[in-house]
Chain A
Amino acid sequence: MSAADARRPRIGVLAVQGAVSEHEAALADVGARTTRVRAPEDLAGLGGLVIPGGESTTFGLVAGESGLLDAVRLRVDDGLPVLGTCAGMIMLATGIAGGGPQPLIGGMDIVVRRNAFGRQVHSFEAPVEVAVLGDPPMQGIFIRAPWIEQVGPSVEVLAEHGGHPVAARDATRIVAAFHPELTADRRLHRLFVEGIGQVAAGTEHEEDTVVGAQ
């Protein structure tokens, strides 16, 4: 590995279930190295973490069992930068409106509503203006998507759709209810990775994930 490679941030993608390879491809496009995170030890040396879309109940159960959820929570509370899309956004919320209890990572001062836009036949795509990314709007792909129902003072809303916040950030976290990883638009991933800056990546498990492999 070259010295330049070593300066590229290494980003973990939570790989319990869901759209993992899509985020790996997006992260590679913006110059990050990626690692799949399935066990607590996979978190060593990461400069950031992506929690992909998938089923949040599956994430909570499978990652809860292995101690992975607790390990992620520790690192995230400690300031590890995180990008969460759809189910990833749900996992980072402190609460779920109108929902039963389910294991979360928490830590971001938002309350979300799961499946807020309805079942799959109501899933949709629409342009979403994300002010910090400028023009043109992102093409938001909303799949059984949640929205943000309450926002605390530490959180900045980045975008709204239909009067509901659908993207937000705080000091270390960026969340979106839609799926930029399903489009070719890399601006949100770039915003995340550039925010991490030149954080020195870890030294163990250096082999890169083969991007695009299933």
Chain B
Amino acid sequence: MSDDVAGNGAQGATGTDAVKAGLARMLKGGVIMDVVDADQAKIAEDSGACAVMALERIPAEIRKAGGVARMSDPEMIMGIQEAVTIPVMAKCRIGHHVEAQVLQALEIDYIDESEVLTPADESSHVDKRQFTAPFVCGATNLGEALRRIAEGAAMIRTKGEAGTGNVVEAVRHMKTITQDIRRVVSATPDERFAIAKEMAAPLELIEWVGLHGRLPVVNFSAGGIATPADAALMMHLGAEGVFVGSGIFMSEDPPARARAIVEATTHWDDPDVVARVSRGLREAMPGLEIGEIADGGLLQTRGW
């Protein structure tokens, strides 16, 4: 946090917790779409996306290409920032605080410290408290989510398994977090010490969850969402919004699918709407069975 002159001479404190976590609150109920260029960003915005994630290759392509996946070229990110008025997010490698500094210098609206890129540090994540830009981080369970929040993440997304078009891992991670929260809520104060140790999470955050029955920040779902029904399913399971990566621009009719996923996310509890928007979307992206992913090929196990 710093005292800063905001744009156009307005004086105020930037980078406060309220300001960082507040933007995630404004994204709730919305769809954040992966885009690789300005044209895709426009399609996303015109389909009702509440934000876009700028990256050089969508996760399914990263998975196919192999090698080291890094932060995107600033030139490409800036092109997307020019093209749309909605928030623009971008990914840095886990633990790569210089990539994060570059993204902040580009005035990215949210930094995703993401397991989709190749980790840069095998033990530590970025100290996100040092940044004015807010961070979103992936999690597969409550302990992981609270570790990221302790480091300064202002938004969480369940990891799922990116680039597969298979929602099963997203479901597993969302249910795990919900079940973990239920367990903390029903635990006695002394049991919460043991849970904090077991989950490797700060005790004060475990106690906060016990008191409030939810995560301290907004929680979206990500990784494998490919259809309007997938998006609605994740909302049913308690997601406050969804990230769709490969699911839109790897499909046969991206604008129609993008639009349909937005509608299904708003009207997730209305099966008539989900049915109507699911009609005639042509082929979804080809899916990948999790069991067919070679050893070491899972992205969700990156991060500590």
Q: Which residues of A contact B (CB under 8 A)?
A: 15-22, 38, 53-55, 57-58, 61-62, 65, 86-87, 99, 114-126, 140-144, 161-164, 179, 182-183, 214
The winner among A20, A182, A214 for most chain B CB atoms within 10 A is A214
Residues of chain A with a CB closer than 8 A to B16's CB: 124-125
Q: Do B26 and A19 have beta carbons less than 8 Å apart? A: yes
Q: Do B10 and A119 have beta carbons less than 8 Å apart? A: no
A98 to nearest B CB, angstroms? 10
By Cβ-Cβ distance, the 4 closest A-B pairs, closest first, are: A118-B7, A124-B12, A162-B10, A126-B12
Cβ contact of A143, chosen from B22, B30, B107, cutoff 8 A: B22
Known: A54-B50, A140-B12, A214-B214. 5 other contacts (CB 8 A): A17-B265, A58-B49, A118-B8, A121-B104, A121-B132
The winner among B48, B86, B263 for most chain A CB atoms within 10 A is B48
Residues of chain B with a CB closer than 8 A to A179's CB: 22
- Inter-chain CA distance A58–B265, complex, in Å, is 12
Q: Do A142 and B12 have beta carbons less than 8 Å apart? A: yes
The winner among B13, B19, B50, B270 for most chain A CB atoms within 10 A is B19
The winner among B4, B29, B45, B132 for most chain A CB atoms within 10 A is B29
Residues of chain A with a CB closer than 8 A to B51's CB: 55
| B47 contacts chain A at the CB level, 8 A cutoff | yes
Q: Do B50 and A126 have beta carbons less than 8 Å apart? A: no
Q: Do B10 and A143 have beta carbons less than 8 Å apart? A: no
Residues of chain A with a CB closer than 8 A to B29's CB: 15-18, 20, 54
Residues of chain B with a CB closer than 8 A to A18's CB: 25-30
Cβ contact of A61, chosen from B6, B26, B48, cutoff 8 A: B48
| B15 contacts chain A at the CB level, 8 A cutoff | yes
Residues of chain B with a CB closer than 8 A to A140's CB: 12
**A-B interface pairs (CB < 8 A), number:** 158
Residues of chain B with a CB closer than 8 A to A61's CB: 46-48, 262
Residues of chain B with a CB closer than 8 A to A99's CB: 85
- Inter-chain CA distance A163–B9, complex, in Å, is 9
Residues of chain A with a CB closer than 8 A to B266's CB: 15-17, 38, 62
**A125-B110 in contact given A61-B46, A62-B262 (Cβ < 8 Å):** no
Residues of chain B with a CB closer than 8 A to A21's CB: 28
**A121-B26 in contact given A17-B266, A162-B9 (Cβ < 8 Å):** no
Q: Interface readout for B90-134 with A: 1 if CB under 8 Å, 0 if not? A: 000000000000001001111000000000000000000000111
- Inter-chain CA distance A141–B22, complex, in Å, is 8
**A125-B7 in contact given A15-B29, A144-B23, A182-B22 (Cβ < 8 Å):** no
- Inter-chain CA distance A126–B86, complex, in Å, is 23
| B238 contacts chain A at the CB level, 8 A cutoff | yes
Which residue of the partner chain B has the closest CB to A214? B240
Residues of chain B with a CB closer than 8 A to A119's CB: 81, 107-109
| B68 contacts chain A at the CB level, 8 A cutoff | no
Residues of chain A with a CB closer than 8 A to B7's CB: 116-118, 122
- Inter-chain CA distance A130–B31, complex, in Å, is 34
B88 to nearest A CB, angstroms? 8
Q: Do B19 and A143 have beta carbons less than 8 Å apart? A: yes
- Inter-chain CA distance A101–B8, complex, in Å, is 24
Residues of chain A with a CB closer than 8 A to B262's CB: 58, 61-62
Which residue of the partner chain A has the closest CB to B3? A124
Cβ contact of B13, chosen from A17, A87, A121, A125, cutoff 8 A: A125
